[in-house]
Structure 1
Amino acid sequence: MDILLVAGLWLDGSAWDEVVPELEALGHRPVPITLPGQGDGSTSATLDDQVAAVIDAVDAAPGKVLVVGHSAASSLAWLAADARPQRVAKVALVGGFPSDDGSEYADFFETKDGVMPFPGWGPFEGADSVDLDEEAKQRIAAAAIPVPEQVSKGVVRLRDERRYDVPVVLVCPEYTPAQAKELLDAGQLPELSRVKHLEYADIDSGHWPMFTKPAELARILAAATTES
């Protein structure tokens, strides 16, 4: 199965470089997506541009796909399911949850000169980055791509309730499945509360398992293609 890989803020398609060969060895065709404004040299990209890039990748696949969204890009994966509910076999959300309709995509940090730069590691101290050594942190920060403000402050628009028929697996890195369920039970994940087929997968990592646990992450994603 084609597995579309969409990394979160400040990352391009190369974030999946260590996951790709692992998925290929498991018999799948991974498709890392470099989002407009996050690796193509554009600073004027919008959220709609990024959504269109993911939908285009869904449309280009020969059959149904697994769409993987990491962190903030969990919303992009969910928007793809909303746009193409009959083409998306399943959505995997890695360390993130889909925003609800009408909310801003990822207005989390200060913007400057029309972009939201990587804020440094301060906001990610603790469980998020516990498995990253200093060398890895420096490498990730050096490669971080400022996110266009029109992306981070873009408004999420969901239109097709058939998205709730698309199975979802929550891959839980810096938090546990039990903690994710607590958020769900507390009403903090309104989109996921209506999903008809919701699974959980635990991975013992920080927020960026594609860098620290690529083989394990690949196994979880491969398993998601066969589970209902």
Structure 2
Amino acid sequence: MTHFVMVAGAWLGAWVWGDVARLLAAAGHGAHPLTLSGVAERRGVPAGQETHVRDIVDEVVRRDLHDVVLVGHSYSGIPVGQAAERIGGRLSRVVFVDSEVPVDGESFVSGWWEGPERLAAVLAAHDGRWPPPTAADLAGQGLSDAQIARLVAGATPHPGASLAEPATLTRPLGALPATYVKCLLDGPEPKTTVAELLTCGTWRRVDLDTGHWPMVSRPEELARVLLAAAAEGRG
């Protein structure tokens, strides 16, 4: 049995994985959605990016999980990528879902597509927190009106310290066995850092014709991708 530890991106808690988790459990696997410190029901807990790495590692160790597939979405690809190298032989595979990836010495802010100054200014203007998206921000991502309303209602401000703190890697990320899921409505190609990793023999790309939140817009398709990744990890 594979154990899937699933971590949402900014603003969102474990709840967002509910549909995918049910499908994985129905297939006979362990499904462990995780809420990071500082968001959702853990809102108010002080959290840097290293805190989030520990959240993930502690979940694996506390539950004594093996044959683990770590799943990181959006921002959480950064702490998930670091946690993957820390759990050692417990890891089967990593799945990055339309996500950022950790770059040693760099942060989420430093890699922001509009420039680090733009995101840093947003955080400064909101008491060090990243405000959640509005319904307008979620348009064009393959979501129904009901799905958009669900995401807006469930999102909470994200702790800015986790976005500004740099990642720390002890070995090349390309050494990890990984699947990268590119959600095409969010842009047809991944960032340069991801594109370079996809040239490694241990990384594989899968495309989904949906937007940035496939666990909401296409849970059945995403569950199939995760099950296939688990099979590769065992293979």
Structure 1, unmatched stretches of 5+, are none
Return the offset for 1:219.
1.1
Match of 1:227 among 194, 208, 232: 232
Q: Distance in 2 between matches of 1:62 and 1:99?
A: 23
User: Which structure 2 residue ranges, 5 or more long, are not aligned?
Assistant: 113-118
CA separation of 1:175/1:167 partners in 2, compared to 1, >3 Å: closer, same or farther? farther
AA partner of residue 144 (structure 2): D
SS of 1:226's partner is helix
1:89 counterpart residue number: 92
- Quick one: distance in 2 between partners of 1:61 and 1:195? 30
Partner Cα distance (1:84, 1:159) in 2: 13
Task: State the alpha-carbon separation in 1 of the partners of residues 4 and 37 from structure 2.
Answer: 19
2:132 aligned partner = 118
CA distance, structure 1, for counterparts of residue 185 and residue 105 of structure 2: 26
Q: 1: distance between equivalents of 2:207 and 2:195?
A: 21
C-alpha displacement of 1:123: 4.9
Q: Secondary structure at the match of 1:66?
A: strand
2:57 is matched with which residue: 55, 58, 68?
55
Q: Is the 8 A contact 1:98 1:192 kept in 2?
A: no
| 1:142-161 equivalent positions in 2, closer than 5 A | 142-161=153-172
Counterpart in 2 of 1:103?
A: 106
Cα distance in 2 for residues equivalent to 1:146 and 1:68? 22
Per the TM alignment, residue 189 of structure 1 is displaced from its structure 2 partner at its CA by 3.1
Q: Which residue of 2 aligns with 1:201?
A: 206
Q: Deviations over 1:50-109 (max 9, x none)?
A: 110101122233312000001111112211122224321110011113031111134654
- Supply the distance in 2 between the matched residues of 1:33 and 1:132 (Cα, whole angstroms): 23
Letter in 1 for 2:92: A
CA contact (8 A) 1:72 1:106 kept: no
**CA apart distance, 1:125:** 4.6
| Residue 142 (structure 1) shift | 2.1
What residue number does 1:42 align with? 44
Contact residue 69 and residue 92 of structure 1 kept, 8 A: yes
Cα pair 1:54 1:77 within 8 Å, conserved: yes
Q: Point out the more displaced range, 94-103 or 82-91.
A: 82-91
In structure 2, distance between residues paired with 1:6 and 1:195? 24
CA gap of 1:87–1:215, structure 2 versus 1, over 3 A, is same
Amino acid corresponding to residue 56 of structure 1 in structure 2: D
1:190 Cα offset (Å)? 7.3
The structural deviation recorded for 1:146 is: 0.5
Moved over 6 A (4+): none
CA contact (8 A) 1:24 1:30 kept: yes
Preserved CA contact (<8 Å) 2:101 2:193: no
Q: Distance in 2 between matches of 1:174 and 1:61?
A: 36
CA displacement 1:99-147 (0-9 Å, x = unmatched): 3111113465412112111143555554xx2x11233222211221111
TM-score of the aligned structures, taking structure 2 as reference length: 0.83
- Could you say which residue in structure 2 is the equivalent of 1:23? 24
Aligned AA (1:172): K
- Structure 1 stretch displaced more, 79-88 or 49-58: 79-88
Pairwise CA distance, 1:178: 7.3
